[in-house]
Amino acid sequence: MSTLKVGIIGLGGIARSHCDAIATLDNVEVVAVADLFEEKRSQYMEEYGIPRGYPTHTELLKDDEIDAVAVVLGHQLHHRLTVDACNAGKHVLVEKPMALSLEQCDAMIDAAASNNVKLMVGHTPHFSGILLKMKEILDSGRLGPLMTIVCYSCKNWTYANRAPQYRSRFHGGGMWLTNGVHVVDRLTWLMASQAVSVSASIGTRAHYQAADDTATALIRYKNGLAGVAVSIAYADGPPIMDTQVICVNGTVRIGGGRQPFLQVGQGDEWQDIPYDDPPAVMHYEWKSFVESIEQDIEPPASGEWSRHIMEILFAAESSAISGQDVVLESGLSWTHQRAGVPVTRDHGWI
Ligand SMILES: NC(=O)c1ccc[n+]([C@@H]2O[C@H](COP(=O)([O-])OP(=O)(O)OC[C@H]3O[C@@H](n4cnc5c(N)ncnc54)[C@H](O)[C@@H]3O)[C@@H](O)[C@H]2O)c1
């Protein structure tokens, strides 16, 4: 296939990571950007040598040269812009969280399918060097069967600089949908199973905003295991992005916040594991998206995958409101497998 021509819609902070990643690949180029602000358009066009800029996504979607778009703006717009882009015949890479309801997720999946275009969601952890190495270690089987996983995403919310849409749950804001989505995605991906139920506590503790900043969720999976997702936006403190995967014959963990390390624990020792960083944070994300188009295959972090992640996030919110465990709608139809020997009080297993 010839070079894939891309349009980027929304030039807030993270559009830069998309442009940087595309610049590391030979078979894809940004030919247009769209943003409401002229100064942002000119800045990106000048910096990355992008030929065309449009004030809104509507104009950009009329550009016949564009094969695919990245939807990189506020959460409340993901659904509408993705559906519009699919209907304009463009492949779509939409940022996380996928959308604000399962109905919206379904409409996006349907729009991609009916227009025969690819839909992928920007679940960055799937493409990070350190997590790919962790996944490789788990998949190798050297640590034996999984027992549990605990994932954190805790950071300073930088309230004063946080755009209003991210401080309003009505607009899809709050820590749970903004960063909890990464934790749940990471947890579910490493668990390599589908969630069946969630029990969570979610609330607002540290900020004056109509959106959460505190979430802890226990997620049960079809493989019989449970994992814990912790997503906290505090007012002060360095980031905690730890991931601990505990297996029968050892543990693999990521720690270290901004200077992450990967370690395997076996025989009472922690061993540092080297890993490769990609040439740009979103390099593998864009490589996979382009490959899925070129080869006409399902992209990783597909619409269906991301819908499942949203189902877990929404169920956790319902659980926090009701104080009850919430069974996922899709979980009911699955045959539950059990990991290991069934746990019973009578036999002293718990
Ligand atoms: N994957 C990651 O690691 C990661 C990291 C940061 C942000 N994100 C996600 O990226 C998305 C964008 O976040 P951000 O902070 O970069 O952006 P933002 O919300 O700060 O900015 C969005 C931009 O879109 C423009 N815009 C709004 N409506 C438009 C329209 N109809 N047409 C054209 N332009 C329009 C605005 O003018 C603004 O410049 C969010 O979904 C966020 O959660 C992902």
In a domain, 324, yes or no: yes
CATH of residue 100: 3.40.50.720
pLDDT value, residue 2:
87
One domain for residues 37 and 137: no
Q: Mean pLDDT of all residues in the chain?
A: 93
In a domain, 273, yes or no: no
One domain for residues 176 and 229: yes
| Best of 14, 39, 42, 313 for a ligand 1 pocket test (most atoms within 8 Å of beta carbon) | 14
Q: Residue 1: is it exposed, middle or buried by C-beta count within 10 angstroms (0-12/13-18/19+)?
A: exposed
One domain for residues 116 and 132: no
One domain for residues 172 and 295: no
One domain for residues 215 and 314: yes
pLDDT value, residue 349:
41
Name the nearest CA neighbour of 99 among 73, 122, 79, 72: 79
Q: How many folded domains does the chain comprise?
A: 2
Q: Is the C-alpha dihedral spanning 27, 40, 125, 218 positive or negative?
A: negative
Q: Is 162 in the pocket of ligand 1 (CB under 6 A)?
A: no
Residue 6 pLDDT grade (very low, low, confident, very high; cuts 50, 70, 90): very high
110 token code pair: 């349907």
One domain for residues 66 and 214: no
In a domain, 247, yes or no: yes
Residue 12 pLDDT grade (very low, low, confident, very high; cuts 50, 70, 90): very high
Q: Is 285 in the pocket of ligand 1 (CB under 6 A)?
A: no
One domain for residues 290 and 257: no
Residue 321 pLDDT grade (very low, low, confident, very high; cuts 50, 70, 90): very high
Which whole number is the average pLDDT over 298-310? Answer: 94
Given a cut of 60, is residue 201 above it in pLDDT?
yes
Q: Which residue's CA is the nearest one to ligand 1's atom 34?
A: 35
Ligand 1 center to 90 CA (angstroms): 19
Residue 332 pLDDT grade (very low, low, confident, very high; cuts 50, 70, 90): low
Domain residues for the domain of 201 are 126-266+310-333
Given a cut of 90, is residue 28 above it in pLDDT?
yes
Ligand 1 center to 180 CA (angstroms): 17
Given a cut of 50, is residue 342 above it in pLDDT?
no
Q: Is 95 in the pocket of ligand 1 (CB under 6 A)?
A: yes
End-to-end CA distance of the chain: 57
One domain for residues 256 and 130: yes
Q: Is 267 in the pocket of ligand 1 (CB under 6 A)?
A: no
Which whole number is the average pLDDT over 29-39? Answer: 98
Residue that has been written with the tokens 């297996």 in this structure: 247
Ligand 1 center to 73 CA (angstroms): 2
Q: CA dist 247 to 3, 109, 143, 244, Å?
A: 43, 35, 6, 10
Residue 223 pLDDT grade (very low, low, confident, very high; cuts 50, 70, 90): confident
pTM of the model: 0.94
Which atom of ligand 1 lies at the shortest distance from residue 36's CA? 37
Given a cut of 50, is residue 262 above it in pLDDT?
yes
One domain for residues 155 and 220: yes
H or E element that contains 18: helix 15-23
Q: Is 173 in the pocket of ligand 1 (CB under 6 A)?
A: no
Q: Is 74 in the pocket of ligand 1 (CB under 6 A)?
A: yes
In a domain, 341, yes or no: no
pLDDT-wise least confident of 94-103, 126-135, 326-335: 326-335
Q: 127 CB contacts (<8 Å, ≥6 apart)?
A: 278, 282, 283, 284, 285, 288
Which atom of ligand 1 lies at the shortest distance from residue 74's CA? 19
One domain for residues 177 and 221: yes
Q: Is 175 in the pocket of ligand 1 (CB under 6 A)?
A: no
In a domain, 146, yes or no: yes
Q: Which residue's CA is the nearest one to ligand 1's atom 13?
A: 73
Given a cut of 60, is residue 234 above it in pLDDT?
yes
DSSP 236-279: S---B--EEEEETTEEEEEE-TTS-EEEEEETTEEEE---PPPS
Which whole number is the average pLDDT over 21-27? Answer: 97
Ligand 1 center to 211 CA (angstroms): 18
pLDDT value, residue 314:
98
One domain for residues 160 and 181: yes
155, 234 contact by CB (below 8 A): yes
CATH of residue 170: 3.30.360.10
pLDDT value, residue 261:
98
In a domain, 349, yes or no: no
Task: Compute the CA torsion angle 15, 125, 214, 329 (nearest 10 deg).
Answer: 110
pLDDT value, residue 345:
47
In a domain, 339, yes or no: no
One domain for residues 117 and 225: no
Q: 268 CB contacts (<8 Å, ≥6 apart)?
A: none
pLDDT-wise least confident of 16-20, 65-69, 162-166, 243-247: 162-166
Residue 1 pLDDT grade (very low, low, confident, very high; cuts 50, 70, 90): low
pLDDT in tens, 76-115: 999 999 999 999 999 999 999 999 999 999 999 999 999 9
Give the orientation angle of helix 102-114 with respect to helix 303-322, to 10 degrees.
170
